[in-house]
Structure 1
Amino acid sequence: MSTVKRRVVIIGGGTGGAMLANRLPKDEFEVTIIDKQPYNHFWPWLLYIAFRGSRRPIKREIRSVLKPWVNFIQSGVKAVNLQDRYVELDNGKRLEYDYVVIATGATVDYSRIPGLDKVTEMFGNYHSNEENAWRVWQTLNSMREGTLAIILAPGAYRCPPSPLEGTFLAEEFFRKRGLRDKVRIVFATFYPRPYPAEPMNELIEPLLKERGIEYITFYTLDRIDPEKRVAYSMEGEELKFDAAIVIPPHVGVDIKYVPEDVLDSDRFVQADKFTNRVKGFDDAFVIGDASALPVAKTGVTAHLQAGVVARILQGEDARNTGRTNCPFDVGYGLGTFVISDFNNPAIKYPINRVNHLFKVAFAATYWDMILYPELWDPIFEAYFEATEPAKLRHLYR
């Protein structure tokens, strides 16, 4: 006797969407992924294009990282009607669902900072696309002297360590080329300390000082004058630069939702932080960067949330712990991890070479990890269990 499969529509074929699709049993679910473009990107590698000139491929076709039984539709989405349970594609076609999962990621909004679009054209960034990451690499290679400003614009952004990762790698770049005494590096952030979580900051701030990197806190970027090469803060400070790399504000993707009040003011989808259920709906979920949840916008977050939603859809009582596990490259082959959860603040996790190797290993397994969860899930579950914040808190104070 055959059972009727439940229809699951997943909007977005990035980390979270693809991982979720591959975890749903084919005999129970009819799974469809929709994405407006054909590629799954490994976005963290933009850092190494920008600061190391890496030519390693950072994208694969979405179809190639999905199980054969998962349907893939390449299309934009015009609307998600949560009340009438359908997704409207760009061509007007409607897909009805039993469950919908929003995994659309986040997008950059240059318009929030006057002058930011022009500055990005001039110097690039490493939070949007490959073209802009290569611009950063060109910027570094063209500098022989002057001030390089790396500025964290106010708002949401991908990967909490990334602004400082770029800062540390820029310092390493100029030192290895014998230009460190000629290039001043300034990191500016709207937070009250260089890294927002104090335990991690206790490791990072001394490292900035040791390497001669200047930093400005409580610096809320307001506007930039590309011609004068001055960045102005809301607090009234002027930061003069010869080159500026700005981590831009991120917002939710521009899709119409019914009802509209599931979105916050930045177009991120509001949800329950434990179950990822969209506010007010039992049959709709949001995972990864698309959510308004108080968790880091990282691939690890999407990975863990995909696992929770997969178990909920199969009838289990699964809940998020708020776990973060963000690799943090501090240059010179050294690294650490930002590890925390809902009940434990970030751990003061040691900086060493082994942690950097872990980051490189994660990158090497990325697409395998998406396609073969049955092989990789036990390995990652063992790793996450061994590095639970509650266990580490007593070791690293």
Structure 2
Amino acid sequence: MTDLLHSALHSATSLSGLASQGNSGTETPAVPYSRPTTPGASPTVPIQIGFVGLGAIGGVMAKNLANYRATHSHNAAPILVWNRTAAKADALLKELGANKIRVTNSLEQIATECDVIITALANDEVVREIYEKFVATLKHTPPARHKIFVETSTIYPTFAGELDSLVSSIPHCHLVASPVFGTPAVAAGAQLIIVMSGDYRSKKEVAYMLVPAVGRKVIDLGGNIEKAPTFKLIGNSMILGTLEIFAESYTLAEKSGIPAQEVHKLVKEIFPAPGLMRYSERMSTNNFDAKTGFSINGGIKDASHIRRLTAVHNSPMPAIDIAHQHLITARAIHTGQVQAGKEAVDVLDWSGIVAGARVAAGLDPFESGNVGVVQED
């Protein structure tokens, strides 16, 4: 990587990118790499970051990154953002101001102007479309200095390998696979867990850019680009499997006359993870609006990826098979209700998986009250 980019990226970081050490001084640092070197004076041209995809997580990441750089990085350039729905980008500009955000409707401008390009997109098909446009642009206008592409979406591992080949076909370009763990609320607090695999020097630069601006910790999975996406699917299998158990348990509670709020209290005691508690709360209150959550389409996509991975590695996950079917059942019911004009929620959160367990038990899918006959001793 050029001295200019190394120096610019270094100037965008602060000592707070390191995890605070415990009294013993043995805790794992938040960034598992040494800090990038500072070869010479500060560059006259600041690093330009591009951000593509302003969804429930991506929009919060872009906002946090822009705010952090404005207060911690000398002479930081506004982040250049692109979103398929322009209104989201315009709203972010209105909220943060032109000193932190610039908006473009051109992916070509992102590709040519930006040194680091972060993508947070819905699925593999959209990721492929965007990256093919990036590469087509850069083949026509080859970069004069290094560029780092940071793909944070949840994609299938071998597809990450395809993207890596695509990006590396352009001189001076590297890809870092960097999926993240966390709900929108976790993202808002800059507490995401960031997983990375790919080119070592690129990971080092990006890690100090993202921690603590958008996340609290980086987990390094090495140089094989496919490892971070694999790890992300493994993590999501844990979350999805837990959602399935929650769904079944809430359904059993309703059938046996146990109030949902009591089940949620228990969840908070024995599963005190912010994300899991949030999904439990959604099930207990029948709040399945994905505007501040994770869409059921994304859940079905992830479940499909996980099941494909289990088949490749001969490692069955029957809980995920059941969860996948319950997600599809919930989506089918929701789609029918929307078409009939009976559903107020436009996009269903994947905690709506509980509908699959509820209908199997003869209950209402989304409006269950968890009210039953309390059995006295």
TM over 0.5: no
Greater relative contact order (CA < 8 Å, ≥ 6 in sequence) = 1
**Structure (1/2) with the larger helix percentage:** 2
**TM-score normalised according to structure 2 size:** 0.31
